Structure 1
């Protein structure tokens, strides 16, 4: 007698394509990529049925429920990998401006009027394929600290529809790009191009402003994804207190350039820049006789000369 076979996340495969139009699952252009976890789920709540006069057994028990509206959303945790992270930056910020030949620089920026949507297929096993149609990016979150392992990011997604299939719809996908991971411990913060000291951790949040739109269109699934709200780049910087500098900057409401950077060399690096970021005063609370910390929330803005957020990815990938 042998052990019972179970489904394992390590054996799943994720393919994606940006070739489809909204509401139509792509048939070409699929590429494989890597991830840690995902919580993509199509929820369809069961609603109360208040119908009267249906000839039921009694007046106290519930009637058969009604189906609510479907909602497709969830998070995917991905490595901040110099080759693969560009796929997610494209979904969050739009296609980059790429320069170079062998060694390339891909410049992404916030502020696009529209953003792409994406179809994802996850192979769970033989004859078991979960297809997620017309996904858009709602937000990006990064936690930065001097920790072991690869730097990770969480991308929140929303979309139209999930379909269960017994065969792949991805055709013949491209080969997977060679991985080029970034260690979490090599992250760095620069303030006005000067390396900041005594940074304990940071959290970055970028919200695209995307939301689901529903029309009267003979379909109970989402009809569109729109950029209804302003995009926002916010976060928090936790520091070991060593003086009044950051508190004074916050008090004065002085815009500062914040650059979060990971570098493996001049041709392999990631830079996330808020050209005009404002800090909130944090105070200097004393929690006891030990070391003093302070946490500064920040919010970025666009200026007359530049977008709110600029991301530069340097690698050997020809295009995104």
Structure 2
């Protein structure tokens, strides 16, 4: 009997025209490292008395469909997750390379249908009405560069046959994997390289509001974005007073987190107004002194938004 193995797992996604309705075609095979996306339905213990010490059967509670997907930050597939986080991009370029600019502040976000498959069982789970709640990643000197996409879905449909990986007239599109690495990363502050950075974290959250209406199927009616949040952390070797002075004065700065491949593809995430807290400078021992800044971002009055994500690649459209 075949047993499920993560090495054979596969994932495909497509953006929906109608929330909660999986498209019949137009899926794209997605690279991913791990996924906790799934549906769960807890049981409620019976509170009734009068039938002895042994409890009565439990009652099913509401269905919750959500989870995280860990994906590589690459030149092509990552654009789908950026579209889910920010909405449709503005694309320029008559031919490759194309420049896709994603901006924060959109009132409506697209929903996706995502199918995960374990063909050896077989088990194919279609998650419809997936809306991206949070996108986060870390910058460091070495290691594999991945991002975590937190999703809220409307529901799960499980079957033995695939809807997205069919071999008929509409097989899923396959992308060229051009992965960025930590070695390709750089951080700038107000257009100037920021030195002495040990690590950095970036988290963008749409802070989705689940529409939990009463339905016969127990699913939600939607997930609406509320006030967005962009936060992070930078850990630096304490070499000068620039960041501390900014924190004390309360002035914002622009920060740019970028990755560039030798072949020309790039991903640049620009935060237009970063506010730094005043950190505690501790001397923990004979090693170098480090300072940690848990920063927050806000809407920049001049640019008119909080952040901009720019992806340059050979993809004509998302």
Kindly indicate whether the alpha-carbon contact (under 8 Å) linking 2:16 and 2:110 is maintained by their aligned counterparts in 1. Answer: no
1:129-179 CA distance string (max 9 Å, x none)? 111111110101111100133x11001011111111111122523330111
Kindly indicate whether the alpha-carbon contact (under 8 Å) linking 1:20 and 1:27 is maintained by their aligned counterparts in 2. Answer: no
Equivalent of 1:89 in 82, 85, 89 = 82
**Does residue 210 of structure 2 align to residue 212 of structure 1?**
yes
Consecutive unaligned residues of structure 1, counting only runs of 5 or more, are none
**Does residue 68 of structure 2 align to residue 75 of structure 1?**
yes
Consecutive unaligned residues of structure 2, counting only runs of 5 or more, are none
**Does residue 146 of structure 2 align to residue 148 of structure 1?**
no
Equivalent of 2:296 in 290, 294, 299 = 299
Q: CA RMSD in A?
A: 1.5
Distance 1:291 1:23 in 2: 53
SS of residue in 2 equivalent to 1:289: coil
Kindly indicate whether the alpha-carbon contact (under 8 Å) linking 1:134 and 1:159 is maintained by their aligned counterparts in 2. Answer: yes
* Match in the other structure for 1:254: 251
* Match in the other structure for 1:195: 193
Deviation of 1:289 (Å)? 1.9
Kindly indicate whether the alpha-carbon contact (under 8 Å) linking 1:45 and 1:69 is maintained by their aligned counterparts in 2. Answer: yes
**Does residue 36 of structure 2 align to residue 42 of structure 1?**
no
**Does residue 125 of structure 2 align to residue 130 of structure 1?**
yes
Distance 2:110 2:248 in 1: 39
Within-5 A mapping of 1:162-241: 162-170=156-164, 171=166, 172-227=170-225, 229-241=226-238
1:45-75 CA distance string (max 9 Å, x none)? 110222456xx4x1x2221100011111110
1:94-147 CA distance string (max 9 Å, x none)? 010001122100000110000011001111014321111111101011111001
Equivalent of 1:111 in 89, 105, 116 = 105
* Match in the other structure for 1:66: 59
Distance 2:20 2:266 in 1: 36
Within-5 A mapping of 1:254-273: 254-265=251-262, 267-273=264-270
* Match in the other structure for 2:26: 29
Deviation of 1:5 (Å)? 4.9
Deviation of 1:77 (Å)? 0.3
Distance 1:7 1:168 in 2: 16
1:263-291 CA distance string (max 9 Å, x none)? 11484100001111111111211111221
Distance 1:20 1:30 in 2: 13
Kindly indicate whether the alpha-carbon contact (under 8 Å) linking 2:300 and 2:306 is maintained by their aligned counterparts in 1. Answer: yes
Q: How many residue pairs were aligned?
A: 311
Larger mean CA deviation between 138-147 and 173-182 belongs to: 173-182
TM-score, length basis structure 1: 0.93
SS of residue in 1 equivalent to 2:310: strand
